Amino acid sequence: MKGRPQVLVMLGGLFALSMAARSAEALAAIAPRPAPAAEDSRDTEENFAQLDAWQAELDAQSRETEARAIAADKALAEARALSARRKAQEAGRQTGLDQTRRLAAMYTAMPPRKAAGILAALPPGQAAPILLGMPPASAGSILGEMEAAAASRLAAAMSS
């Protein structure tokens, strides 16, 4: 029986060593880590430098995007202003066309001799649209009642 207690003592010692090893592993898992080596801090500095470079690039892109948005807003405002001016011009032109149609109808209703005297006194640029707004037979009758020089000026203005 002498051998058995020694085996038991040896087994007990091995068990104690095993428990100690497990305790050491557990302590190592919760123990504070040592400070990073110089290489680790150099890598970290390089990473921060890369992050700073990316941030600078993103900031530049953000400024460029903002400048483009401002330019687009300005262009949109100019386009809207141009559209408003064109609408106003179109409305004015339409009003002018309506007025020319009314004048053409009025001169068509007049005797050709009276209409010829009035239209001959107008500048050719004003009289030509009125004559163009009339039926061709009425315009021809009025031009026939005018002096040749006045009729010639009006005919030239009508063709240009």
In a domain? residue 29: no
Q: Which two tokens stand for residue 158?
A: 């009508």
In a domain? residue 97: yes
In a domain? residue 84: yes
CA distance 117 to 142: 9
Q: Which residues of the chain have pLDDT under 50?
A: none
Contact criterion met (CB below 8 Å) for 44 and 36: yes
Q: What dihedral do alpha carbons 82, 83, 84, 87 form, nearest 10°?
A: 120
In a domain? residue 19: no
Q: Report the number of distinct structural domains present in the chain.
A: 1
What per-residue confidence (pLDDT) applies to 87?
87
In a domain? residue 51: yes
What per-residue confidence (pLDDT) applies to 109?
94
What per-residue confidence (pLDDT) applies to 19?
66
SS (H, E, C) 35-81: CCCHHHHHHHHHHHHHHHHHHHHHHHHHHHHHHHHHHHHHHHHHHHH
Distance of CA 81 to the CA centre of its chain: 15
In a domain? residue 98: yes
What per-residue confidence (pLDDT) applies to 89?
86
In a domain? residue 10: no
In a domain? residue 35: no
Domain that holds residue 62: 46-159
What per-residue confidence (pLDDT) applies to 26?
57
